[in-house]
A and B are shown apart, each in its own frame.
Chain A
């Protein structure tokens, strides 16, 4: 089982460049998420989606955009890269279940450096 797949694994960007972090899942999960992980800060939610065509901001959305045109894919777009966006980015997905919280499955992460 592939689970949650992120590409690329590593990327170096120059300030002002743009890029898209790809995320796809093969578990037919309705919910998908983007988190960033900074040293000593845990993971912070950037954006999330509860289904195709529906997205919403998380705790730290500034500087990012997302789209969810299919159940499987949830790309994260950086339009004007800034050094503050240097981080490790994790995509995750989970199933929807009425009345309970279900397990989140994470990709292996994308390590992004903005110079």
Chain B
């Protein structure tokens, strides 16, 4: 079956620090990969996505590269801000599968001044 594994949190960083959240996946087909973000008290919203190998998704200073050879989609940001504090979910979906998402367990990020 399909599964997503991401690093456990919480991750606590100082403002302007470099962020990496690791994500690896297993899939029966050729998935599209996503990072969703959940701010406190809100629903999930799409942060970025990549649909094929070597694609780089980017948004709001975050980026992730679809690495088929290592089945990974690590999230990075060069300089985090307090406003980036949230829970980040890695997810995959297969084409033709009704867009059903398989999520990782989520990683909570706390950014302090």
Please tell me the size bucket of the interface on B: 20 to 34
Interface residues of B in 88-113 (CB under 8 A from A): 89, 93-95, 97-101, 103-106
Q: Count the A residues whose beta carbon is within 8 Å of the partner chain — how many?
A: 29
Give the interface segment out of A12-20, A60-68, A75-83, A94-102. Answer: A94-102
Distance in angstroms from A104 CB to nearest chain B CB is 6
Specify which of A31, A43, A105 is in contact with B103 (CB 8 Å cutoff): A43
Looking at A58, A105, A106, which has the most chain B CB atoms within 10 Å of its CB?
A106
Is A2 part of the binding interface, using a Cβ–Cβ cutoff of 8 Å? Answer: no
> Would A101 and B95 be within 8 Å (CB), given that A107-B43, A108-B43 are in contact?
yes
Question: Is A90 a contact partner of B44 (Cβ separation < 8 A)?
Answer: yes
**Chain A residues, Cβ within 8 Å of B89:** 42-43
* Alpha-carbon gap, A92 to B36, bound state (A): 13
Interface residues of B in 41-92 (CB under 8 A from A): 41-46, 49, 51, 89
A interface list, Cβ under 8 A from B: 4, 31, 33, 35, 40-45, 48, 50, 56, 58, 90, 92, 94, 96, 99-109
B interface list, Cβ under 8 A from A: 4, 31-32, 36, 41-46, 49, 51, 89, 93-95, 97-101, 103-106
